[in-house]
Structure 1
Amino acid sequence: MTRRDDYSSPTGYQGKTETACEIAAAFEDSWLELYQHVNPDALPGARDLYAPVAYVQTPVTAKPKSTSKAILNFYGAPTKNLDLPDLVHQVAASLNDHGTKALLLDDITRLRMHRADDQDALDLIRAFMSMHVTLILIGVDIPGSGLLREGRHDARTGQWVLPPSRHAKVHGLEATQTERRFDLVELDHFRYDTPPQITAWVQHLAGLEDQLRLMNAPPGMLTDGHMPEYLFERTHGVVGLLERLVEDGCQEAIDTGTECLTEPLLEGIALNLSSEPGRDPNAGEIPDVPATQAAATARQAAKRPAPRRRGRNTVFDDQGPAAEAGA
């Protein structure tokens, strides 16, 4: 049975896509070397079309036609003037002709199960499972998204078991009656509560530091002193936010000539993900960004009520002739 994998995290920027793509790239290299970079099932005149791994991003508004076109666009296959059954058969033909063994569908949690079009797109994706290709779905909070709503968790194997599609056929494509099994791989952010968690965070910072090429960077620039704790406070252990902060910090260090990352320099950098292209905030792909210490202090000061001025004692005030006349 073809294996299926789900990569999930509670929020975006956890490194799901990078992790899955790194694994897929290693698999593709091994597979190509195994067959000397030649598709053993290639058609005559089509050896240059070998693609053991295909990566596709789920459309923001996913429908069966748009999902099929997104897959065909990876191969550069024609999609113009094709109806849905033709698109589905073209997808099956492209996967087979290019020798694709793994199909990565990123941002799969853009599908919303309360929409009929999205339910049809999910049925179509489940039908792809009968194409003898490993399906890898990548998304934010897959267990809570409803994509596994009809499935059940097998405690013995640790896998999610899904029943067949609701239809015997999905747009003319045979849907196998065998239950499909998914391995759910959850990626969470780093923690900073116990010594092993702190060690893992510092080791990650050390690996990141080894990749930096700042002229005045001292040893332990990201791992010594208060810096690990500061970086965790700024990013809450989210890998993508850490990379963004360090990248923007390096750009600032180069522009100013300091050529070193310090807390004062990073404190002047505000992370803003509101205009991230290609990300859907409604699908949880953009996490909450922790504020800098200066911004947090200013926000707390703004919320604090202003102190009341003490009133002046008027007991001994002279009210004047007008007050006496009125009395």
Structure 2
Amino acid sequence: MTAQQPDDPQVQWPTRERIAELILRPRPHRNTFEGWQHYRRTRGELTLPPRLTFRQWQMLTPNARFDRDIYRRLTNVNLPLQQTPMAAKVTRLIKRRLHGNTYKQDDPTLAGVMVSGFGHYGKTATVSAVCAAFEDSWLQLHQFLNPATVPGTTDIHAPIVFVSTPVTATPKSTCTAILRFFGADIRSAATLPNLVQLVAESLRDHGVKALVLDDISRLRMHRADDQDVLDLIRAFMSLNVTLILTGVNIPGTGLLREACWQPKQQQWVLPPLESTRVHGLEITQTEHRFELVEMDRFRYSTAEQIQAFVNHLHGIEVHLRLLNAKPGMLTSGTMPEYLLNRTGGVVGLLGRLIEDGCQEAMDTEREVIDQNLLDEIVIRREDSDLAPEELAPDAPAEAAARPARRRRGRNTVFDDKGPQASVDAAG
């Protein structure tokens, strides 16, 4: 959101051309340089329109009503990214790590950050916002020029690189995903050593300060390729780049533990979690190099937690544009408890419920959100209402319910059982 106040009288309704631009303009994905720059430059540029009462809306011409309704819908489904207590913890750690690593002079290996949390907890949105703000300040500090640029070259300046971890990750596919962020030509680097060298040169030449690997939980440490990818990621930490990894339930994926190959079992075996190991054993190299921070959901047990949730609802409430909305629409009475119970305190589910509620309120011309209206909105909570310790990652319900397949025995009809078996059969 901008610094403009929600009810600033200087704010005007945008023109139809501006509304069309906001809706129809392309939105490239963040895992390319163009997509990341588009996100960084356009985030928070949606200005809040003036409030309208139902009577004021009725007095407008049909064309003006149409324009106002389109922009109200655009506003209501683009809720602001607020600094919740959970997001504030992640923000502080990433800012501390980014600024600290950037100012280091001779440290051969820079510490990284892992941001874990379950679905819809706001991990990617929070990390993206912090990194975009860091890039803004970094560019301003250096007059939007790369301080380490090589004379005679035209390399783009990319302080932040945002990459999604490949679904079937291998060292080659991971290097390719990073190089595609810059639009690099990878045809000349067919072998893995050449790809790794090209990644190292690209990170240096483009002035990269932080590499964000989203969806890192796609790595599973029982696969040999994924073990190699983790080794590759650790190697990147010596390239004067801060690594920020985000994923769902990172402690449950084994990224913080070293899997080892067991020849007898012919499989990768994970040692016990750190909390269950024998006291005194050294933690793994990955755990030494990364600091893990967990994004939680809203809780409702203490006065501080209750107030934080109500403050978040207030931030959403002042953003909404419904004709019959009244102060306290989301924060008064039993509405906070209702919203918490419906969403489990998960930020993403809360936003989806309110966004859908606004759409329903406009479609039915009620133009207000209440519990009766939200009862008609169906959202799937899945396991989001459970605490992390209550979940069992990597153990799908259908796999647990499926009975073990009985191995077919070998046919022994023609086996020679020896002389004693023949004597017994004759007797």
Task: Write the distance in 2 (CA, Å) between the matches of 1:260 and 1:47.
Answer: 54
Give the direction of change, closer, same or farther, for the CA distance of 1:30–1:194 in structure 2 (3 Å limit): same
Task: Give the whole-Å Cα distance in 1 for the aligned partners of 2:224 and 2:312.
Answer: 43
Aligned residue for 1:22? Answer: 129
**In the comparison of the two structures, how many residue pairs are matched?**
257
How far does residue 254 in structure 1 lie from its aligned partner after superposition?
2.0
* C-alpha displacement of 1:262: 1.3
1:129-144 to 2 correspondences below 5 Å: 129-144=237-252
Shift of 1:56: 0.8
- Residue in structure 1 matched with residue 377 of structure 2 by the alignment: 269
Residues 155 and 205 in structure 2, CA contact (< 8 A), matched pair in contact too: no
Q: 1:246 to 1:46 in 2, by over 3 A?
A: farther
Q: Please show how residues 51-90 of structure 1 align to structure 2 within 5 Å.
A: 51-80=158-187, 82-90=190-198
* CA distance in 2: counterparts of 1:48 and 1:86, whole angstroms: 19
Partner of 2:140: 33
Alignment partner of 2:364 out of 247, 256, 259: 256
Q: State the partner residue of 1:163.
A: 285
Distance in 2 separating the partners of 1:152 and 1:50 = 40
Q: Give SS of 2:289's match.
A: strand
Q: Which residue is equivalent to 1:218?
A: 326
Q: Where does residue 202 of structure 1 map in the other structure?
A: 310
Structure 1 residues 105 and 29: alpha-carbon distance in aligned structure 2, compared to 1, 3 A threshold: same
Q: Secondary structure at the match of 1:103?
A: strand
Structure 1 vs Structure 2 CA RMSD: 2.4
Give 1:297's aligned residue: none
TM-score (norm 2): 0.56
Residues 13, 287 of structure 1: 8 Å contact kept: no
For 1:106, the equivalent position in structure 2 comes to 214
What is the Cα deviation at residue 152 of structure 1? 7.1
One-letter identity of the residue aligned with 1:38? L
How far apart in 2 are the matches of 1:218 and 1:264? Answer: 16
Deviation at 1:54, TM superposition (A): 0.8
Tell me, which stretches of 5 or more residues in structure 1 are unaligned? 154-159, 165-178, 274-285, 291-327
Match of 2:353 among 245, 260, 277: 245
Question: Contact 1:39 / 1:47 at 8 angstroms: preserved in 2?
Answer: no
TM value normalised by structure 1? 0.73
Q: Does 1:181 align with 2:289?
A: yes
The reply to whether residue 193 of structure 1 matches residue 315 of structure 2 is no
In structure 2, stretches of 5+ residues that fail to align are 1-106, 259-272, 276-281, 387-427
Alpha-carbon offset, residue 88 of structure 1: 1.3
Q: Shift in Å at residue 289 of structure 1?
A: 7.1
Secondary structure in structure 2 of the residue aligned to 1:49: coil
1:122 aligns with 2:230: yes
Partner Cα separation in structure 2 for residue 53 and residue 161 of structure 1: 30
Whether contact under 8 Å (1:152, 1:162) holds in the other structure is no
Q: Deviations over 1:195-249 (max 9, x none)?
A: 2211111111111222222222111111111111111011100111111111111
Task: Check whether the contact 1:271–1:289 (CA below 8 A) recurs between aligned residues.
Answer: no
Q: Tell me which residue corresponds to 1:310.
A: none
Q: Does 1:97 align with 2:205?
A: yes
Q: Does residue 82 of structure 2 align to residue 12 of structure 1? A: no
Kindly state the Cα deviation for residue 147 of structure 1 after the two structures are TM-superposed.
0.6
Cα distance in 2 between the residues matched to 1:45 and 1:242: 51
State the SS of the aligned residue for 1:130. coil
Shift of residue 131 of structure 1? 0.8
Q: CA deviation at 1:257?
A: 2.0
Identity %: 58
Residues 85-130 of structure 1: per-residue CA shift (max 9 Å, x gap): 2221121111111101001111111100001111111111111111
Q: 1:55 to 1:107 in 2, by over 3 A?
A: same
